[in-house]
């Protein structure tokens, strides 16, 4: 397999696909009915648009690259050495309640690591794209992480998961607050990572995430000059949950001071 050709062919395809997926998501958002959603579990929202966008993406990938595996939030799948990861609407609660802070996420992974990522914010008509080794872009313009120098100057997001105990969450939050950080939660892990890549936020942490929520954003952060954690790091990891940490470079070591298991940063690119 020619890795370079494999990635380049899919990069061209992904740039077109993410726009069509964003258009589908925006149409669903603009035409939704109030209260038109269901719950897969406590605080776990599902809308018709989630399914419509994921089916569109899955169908297009299957036609173009039938040999590739697909793992989607809504329709599942089994990852392999070449895997597309899909979150059709990240921030579904926001979407369902009419808050325009949500995104469409698509990533392409080789051997468990993202090499291509695209995240669309349909309402703002913005598309973020990254290819391993080629930088991070917003609507074709390069983006970079912030130059914030210390945690007492930092604004960051901290996601919450029902898989983690309240005490664990509070322990991490306590450390961050004691260091003087300003903490937010806006309801989309994908956009939280985008904001780190773009320098609007200085870091993002979540103690347990699915791969479809984070692999695309983590590649964007790396390519924008930031640092991210080691998970996910294998094909098997893509089907599991794990801890996510992403940071602008100057506060990275301080962020690691939370001392939570497996929340260690890779070296800079």
For 130-146, the pLDDT digits (tens) are 999 999 999 999 999 99
Q: Is 87 annotated as a binding residue?
A: yes
Q: What's the token pair of residue 179? A: 């260091």
Q: Would you say residue 266 lies in a domain?
A: no
Tell me, yes or no, whether 29 and 9 share the same domain.
yes
- What CATH number is attached to the domain comprising 238? 3.40.190.80
Structural domain containing residue 252:
151-257
**Claim to verify: residue 112 and residue 133 sit in the same structural domain:** yes
Assess whether 161 and 136 both reside in one domain: no
Tell me, yes or no, whether 53 and 108 share the same domain: yes
Q: Is 206 annotated as a binding residue?
A: no
pLDDT digits (tens, 9 = 90+) for 16-71: 999 999 999 999 999 877 655 554 544 344 578 889 999 999 999 999 999 999 99
Question: What value does the mean pLDDT of the chain take?
Answer: 92
Task: Note the pTM of the prediction, 2 decimals.
Answer: 0.93
Residues 172 and 217 grouped into a single domain = yes
11, 31: one domain: yes
Total tally of structural domains belonging to the chain: 2
Asked whether residue 73 is marked as a ligand-binding residue, the answer is yes
Q: What is the pLDDT averaged over residues 67-80?
A: 93
């Amino acid at each position: 397999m020619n890795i370079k050709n494999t990635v380049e062919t899919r990069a061209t395809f992904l740039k077109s696909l993410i726009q069509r997926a964003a258009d589908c998501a925006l149409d669903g958002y603009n035409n939704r009915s109030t209260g038109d959603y269901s719950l897969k579990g406590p605080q776990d929202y599902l809308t018709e648009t989630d399914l419509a966008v994921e089916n569109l993406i899955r169908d297009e990938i299957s036609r173009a690259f039938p040999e590739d595996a697909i793992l989607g939030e809504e329709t599942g799948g089994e990852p392999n050495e070449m895997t597309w990861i899909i979150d059709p609407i990240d921030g579904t609660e926001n979407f369902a309640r009419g808050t325009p802070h949500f995104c469409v996420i698509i990533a392409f992974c080789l051997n468990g690591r993202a090499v291509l990522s695209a995240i669309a914010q349909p309402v703002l008509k913005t598309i973020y794209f990254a290819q391993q080794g080629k930088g991070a872009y917003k609507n074709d313009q390069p983006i970079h992480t912030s130059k914030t120098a210390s945690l007492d100057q930092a604004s960051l997001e901290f996601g919450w998961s029902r898989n983690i105990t309240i005490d664990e969450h509070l322990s991490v939050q306590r450390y961050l607050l004691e260091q003087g950080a300003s903490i937010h939660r806006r309801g989309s892990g994908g956009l939280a990572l985008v904001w780190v890549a773009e320098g609007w936020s200085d870091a993002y942490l979540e103690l347990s995430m699915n791969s479809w929520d984070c692999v695309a954003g983590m590649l964007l952060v790396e390519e924008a000059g930031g640092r991210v954690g080691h998970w996910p790091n294998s094909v098997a990891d893509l089907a599991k949950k794990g801890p996510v940490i992403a940071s602008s470079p100057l506060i990275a070591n301080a962020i690691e001071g939370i001392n939570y298991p497996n929340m260690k940063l890779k070296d800079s690119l």
